[in-house]
Structure 1
């Protein structure tokens, strides 16, 4: 099979545990792009947190961010697809989190907003590589422009308890994703990596069987099942490995590079 599109998750997949891309992987990706294969990112990260890595790879393609809620060109900034959360839903979710004492972060297209004394400040600085805007309250942001709501708690039981309640309330209207050890991300019901990847393939007139998708976590499952070649990382949980067509090395062992060399560069 001649693959024409490769979509790769970032954290736990393309990035090492040190949040880096190995030089060998960068070189391999460059060789893949030279063969006119479209290589893109498909991440739960916000756009601005993905751009430094897209620039490192010299990508000039639409990249999938915020778990499929925003697809935007890495070079020009052109928006190809954006799915915003209804402002009434946003208000209800935020109010619930505030009353439960859970730290909330609000994602617009290129900005993150938190309230004063939020536990999330350092996390955004380290992971999103962005300094959040600090606001007194979220009322002024409830204008229908929110694309992701993230909340967290270091208390695992508390996090699971409130996530379960929110899920039961809004599972028909919103998608819920766990990310990292203590985070829950909420996006539009139609926002997921599979839909975003399918839209991208349609734009470039690429068939499903001509796509490789790689990931390591639950939010990657739908795109791995959709792609012609769905790949789970060696560090992925068993349920993801079971639905994948191929299991590669871990993210600490250049698993992405291994797949590109085996299925595209024929090494």
Structure 2
């Protein structure tokens, strides 16, 4: 029996209306009742995922969450950090140099806010702040320094512009960072050691669950690492083709209760 299921949020747990369907809710409750760990694995910080954790009753002692695309793993109730893999000010300088050369925009995710060096924040920075219920803080380039906790750095722009940027990013950027696209307008840079897969490994080691006894479900490129590493890697029916290609199983779409289908089939054995 699988003992843990890691779930991406947008495009996976949530349907296209950004809601948890009753089928998905009920399956998660039954899985938890049967002793399985249900772990939300997201690019969001803890404040951005807390409302969903409360809605799903995943706030008890022994409930865990993976935040910032794997940079942080926490116990929900105590907020105790199990794993924390940060970036540095030097990383920001490297990425910001590229941002200026390519005439795009950037922001920094910290545990409590999103920092922008732009006088006029990108509409995608505003979206990030609204999604995660965190404030936007303006800091000029000169005000950004190593006193900041850099959880991740994001280039944000229109999807077409990000496609162009992906084609011209220097090879050393891919060599030195985990680079993932979590949405068509979000290009994320993390510490090379940080991704949803290494976070899942760290959590499993901490709570003594073999990685072979885990399921990971997702739809986007930032889910690829945990889908590859889990005992059962699952792509949503609405996932990118590149994610379907690496998955062991393809479930129904997020509008067809795809997460409930996985839980019912592989955890509840219905």
The two structures have a TM-score, normalised by structure 2, of: 0.91
| C-alpha distance in 1 between matches for 2:148 and 2:141 | 16
Alignment-derived partner of residue 209 in structure 1? 212
Q: CA deviation at 1:155?
A: 6.2
1:140 to 139, 144, 165: 144
Q: 1:205 to 1:96 in 2, by over 3 A?
A: same
1:63-104 superposed Cα distances (whole Å, 9 cap, x missing partner): 111111111222221111111113212112123313433121
Alignment-derived partner of residue 161 in structure 1? 164
Alignment of 1:1-80 (within 5 A): 2-60=1-59, 61-80=63-82
Alignment-derived partner of residue 110 in structure 2? 108
SS at match of 2:82: strand
1:96 to 98, 101, 104: 98
| C-alpha distance in 2 between matches for 1:46 and 1:181 | 19
CA RMSD of aligned residues (A): 1.8
Moved more, 87-96 or 249-258: 87-96
Moved more, 4-13 or 166-175: 166-175
Q: 1:188 to 1:167 in 2, by over 3 A?
A: farther
Alignment of 1:121-132 (within 5 A): 121-132=125-136
- Structure 1 gaps of 5+ residues are none
2:214 is the alignment partner of 1:235: no
| C-alpha distance in 2 between matches for 1:165 and 1:109 | 30
Q: CA deviation at 1:138?
A: 6.0
Moved more, 78-87 or 93-102: 93-102
| C-alpha distance in 2 between matches for 1:110 and 1:125 | 10
Q: CA deviation at 1:206?
A: 0.9
- Structure 2 gaps of 5+ residues are none
Moved more, 134-143 or 45-54: 134-143
1:252 to 247, 252, 255: 255
| C-alpha distance in 1 between matches for 2:186 and 2:144 | 24
The two structures have a TM-score, normalised by structure 1, of: 0.92
| C-alpha distance in 2 between matches for 1:184 and 1:176 | 7
| C-alpha distance in 2 between matches for 1:173 and 1:30 | 40
Q: Is residue 107–residue 125 contact of structure 2 (8 Å, CA) maintained in 1?
A: no
Alignment-derived partner of residue 227 in structure 2? 224
Alignment-derived partner of residue 120 in structure 2? 117
Moved more, 243-252 or 144-153: 144-153
Q: Is residue 105–residue 113 contact of structure 1 (8 Å, CA) maintained in 2?
A: yes
Q: CA deviation at 1:207?
A: 1.1
Q: Is residue 86–residue 191 contact of structure 2 (8 Å, CA) maintained in 1?
A: yes
Q: 1:205 to 1:167 in 2, by over 3 A?
A: farther
